[in-house]
Structure 1
Amino acid sequence: MPAPDSTWMHTEAAEAANAVARQFAANAATIDALVERLRAQPPRFIVTCARGSSDHAATYGKYLFETTLGLVTASASPSVGSVYAVQPKLDGALFVAISQSGKSPDLLRNAEIAKAGGAHVVALVNVADSPLARLADTVLPLHAGPENSVAATKSYLCSLAALLQLTARWSGDAKLLAAVDALPDAMRQAWAQDWSPLVSGLRLADHLFVLGRGLGLGAAQEAALKFKETCGLHAEAFSSAEVKHGPMAIVGPDFPVLAFAQDDDTGAGTAAVADEFRARGAPVWLARPGEAGPGVLPLPASPHPAATPILTVQAFYAVANALSVARGYDPDVPPHLNKVTETV
């Protein structure tokens, strides 16, 4: 097995802050032009389309768009267009397609349908000359650079950052704009946090829940995927509100829980659920800016609650990589997986 700090996953995740800074500078003019159009012709609603890690970025985008812009945002089911050959009515919509490779056939088909139906198609894609980029009306390159590990890390974080920059400039919110400026440095601080207790706590685990809520739900989804993908560990993500509607019944001693609590109005509720599980004897770890105490995974102060999920995932990637190696896996080459998944 490789040393934890010698994997592509570790190297690429460590590059994320620089990639985000590069992206912010490179995309500013394109985003300003897009924002001018969106303000002149406001979309009636927003539709996202993605799979895998990119779909978790879309979850973040949904909460970001709805809480900041007040625009209803829905997730398109790619199979509706690619398999069932249905053409949803998307006239007047902003269609946001997110993909690292920009090659997945079902994503391309749905973007084609959206464009033909009158939507303005925006592609967030790491391969700037990909089929999806060529199809889109507006392309926001992720500028993550080459990603050799099968597990997406810096491209995922760059997807979140692109959504944040777009929303900040579209809304004109001064605090959000300041958070964009502060984000790369905050990400570097997040990468330096010590989450090693999670490695010893989960090295022999068979399953766990990952909790988040609101802006932090996508981060929980992404963590659960990475546990499965890189660590061979069965993990399920839930909203800290939704977990109380049935799934919490199986949490008890020896059932670990990782909770990502936001520094906003959802945070106290997520922390309370974590406390409830801890009282049942479950091993519980909580990550939340400004929190301290037993079982707390440290996070730096966040420049804005909308930036907190980015810092959380940045810190998480370091420990996911280390846990993968500790469990006897190579995080760069998960079994049965390829870098590009061409779903039809």
Structure 2
Amino acid sequence: MSLPQPEDTLMFREAQEAADRIADQLQRNAAAVEALGARLRSAPPRFIVTCARGSSDHAATFAKYLFETELGITTASASPSVSSVYEAAQRLEGALFVAISQSGKSPDLVSHARAAAAAGAHVVALVNQVESPLAAAAHTVIPLLAGIERSVAATKSYLCSLSALLHIAATWKGSDTLAQALHAVPSAMARAWNADWSPLVEQLTGARNLFVLGRGLGLAAAQEAALKFKEATGLHAEAFSAAEVRHGPMALVGADFPVLVFAQNDATLPGTLAVAREFRERGATVLVAAPGDPPGTHLPLGGDVHPACAPLVTVRNFYRAANALALRRGHNPDLPPHLNKVTETV
């Protein structure tokens, strides 16, 4: 079977489209997000619970760091199996329950959202398909507005999940700084889209395993990249916090071991770049993507971005590189083996 050209894949086109979809989302969701923000300000939740699977669960990781750093509210991830398999009652009175899904059809996620509502939580669904069981189970629906996504590998729906979360956080907090940074994301994406990430393709074409590192607001980017390496390129990758990798996994990193590092310009930047330098000194093949393109960066982004918004720009560029890498390795990124677009976990 012949493979398409890099710019002809659905993965490429949908990742490219994400900037426009985010700009549209911010405009069309303004009233709904403002209403949710007013509700959350008048009746702040005791804590936040997220629930998702796959790429959406990586967005939930981002939500944890975003809500805890911007709003100071403890945020935890719930397992859908607690309700769907174990049928265990939860104590969620006064909680905000945030369910994230592209399709809104996974039975276990829907079951947990319904259980959360019955347990006294306010359920918010971030969902691309608003006519879905998950949306019907929620008190508040924030549409992702990513448009139809045909590639099995989620791209624009993931990025639209992050922008929706940022929109909620900025509005809830009343942060003009974060709101302005978020509205500047589509322009930042446009500036960064043609940055040269060919070193990633060249260095990883023959690889078998690699680590992907991020920390804080960037950890979700590492998780998402590791998943895309597996499903789109056939390359085994594991994601770690740049801090957690020191607790055992770093023992595997030696000469020629590939490591991809994502960083954002916040308090985690010095430590993350220090880990990258340490691995490079061991002879590892280290690729770094960081805003501002500090020394040692091989994957430029071209300028600084608000740290909470940086993962959107970084991951979009990663998608383009992963698409090219998949084709170089003989894989069609739109049709990963054994996978379907919608996974309905019971």
Structure 2 length as normaliser, TM-score? 0.98
| 1:294 shift after superposition | 4.9
* Residues in 2 aligned to 1:5 and 1:30: alpha-carbon distance in whole angstroms: 35
Question: Which of 193, 196, 201 is the aligned partner of 1:194?
Answer: 196
| 1:72 shift after superposition | 0.2
Residue type of the partner of 2:202? S
* Structure 1 residue aligned with 2:153: 151
* Structure 1 residue aligned with 2:79: 77
* Residues in 2 aligned to 1:294 and 1:306: alpha-carbon distance in whole angstroms: 22
* Residues in 2 aligned to 1:134 and 1:291: alpha-carbon distance in whole angstroms: 44
CA contact (8 A) 1:261 1:268 kept: no
* Residues in 2 aligned to 1:122 and 1:300: alpha-carbon distance in whole angstroms: 35
Q: Which deviates further from its counterpart, 140-149 or 292-301?
A: 292-301
* Structure 2 residue aligned with 1:88: 90
CA contact (8 A) 2:291 2:305 kept: no
* Structure 2 residue aligned with 1:136: 138
* Structure 2 residue aligned with 1:2: 4
Residue type of the partner of 2:112? N
| 1:290 shift after superposition | 1.1
CA contact (8 A) 1:253 1:283 kept: yes
Deviation readout 1:256-288 (Å, 9 max, x if unpaired): 000001100001101000100000000000110
Segments of structure 1 that go 5 or more residues without pairing to the other structure are: none
* Residues in 2 aligned to 1:120 and 1:294: alpha-carbon distance in whole angstroms: 45
Question: How many residue pairs end up in the alignment?
Answer: 344
Question: Which of 296, 299, 324 is the aligned partner of 2:298?
Answer: 296
* Structure 2 residue aligned with 1:119: 121
| 1:295 shift after superposition | 5.0
Report SS of the residue matched to 1:140: strand
1:31 aligns to 2:33 (yes or no): yes
Residue type of the partner of 1:185? S
CA contact (8 A) 1:284 1:295 kept: no
Residue type of the partner of 2:139? D
| 1:254 shift after superposition | 2.0
* Residues in 2 aligned to 1:190 and 1:297: alpha-carbon distance in whole angstroms: 10
1:66 aligns to 2:68 (yes or no): yes
Identity of aligned residues (%): 65
CA contact (8 A) 1:102 1:132 kept: yes
Q: CA RMSD in A?
A: 0.9
* Residues in 1 aligned to 2:143 and 2:315: alpha-carbon distance in whole angstroms: 20
Q: How is 1:1-344 mapped onto 2 (pairs within 5 angstroms)?
A: 1-344=3-346
Q: Which deviates further from its counterpart, 126-135 or 334-343?
A: 126-135
Residue type of the partner of 1:133? A
Report SS of the residue matched to 2:29: helix
Segments of structure 2 that go 5 or more residues without pairing to the other structure are: none
**Runs (4+) of structure 1 moved beyond 6 Å?**
none
CA contact (8 A) 1:126 1:145 kept: yes
| 1:77 shift after superposition | 1.0
CA contact (8 A) 2:199 2:298 kept: no
Structure 1 length as normaliser, TM-score? 0.99
Deviation readout 1:155-184 (Å, 9 max, x if unpaired): 000000000011001111121011122111
| 1:40 shift after superposition | 1.2
Report SS of the residue matched to 1:114: helix
Report SS of the residue matched to 2:288: strand
| 1:189 shift after superposition | 1.8
Q: Which deviates further from its counterpart, 26-35 or 174-183?
A: 174-183
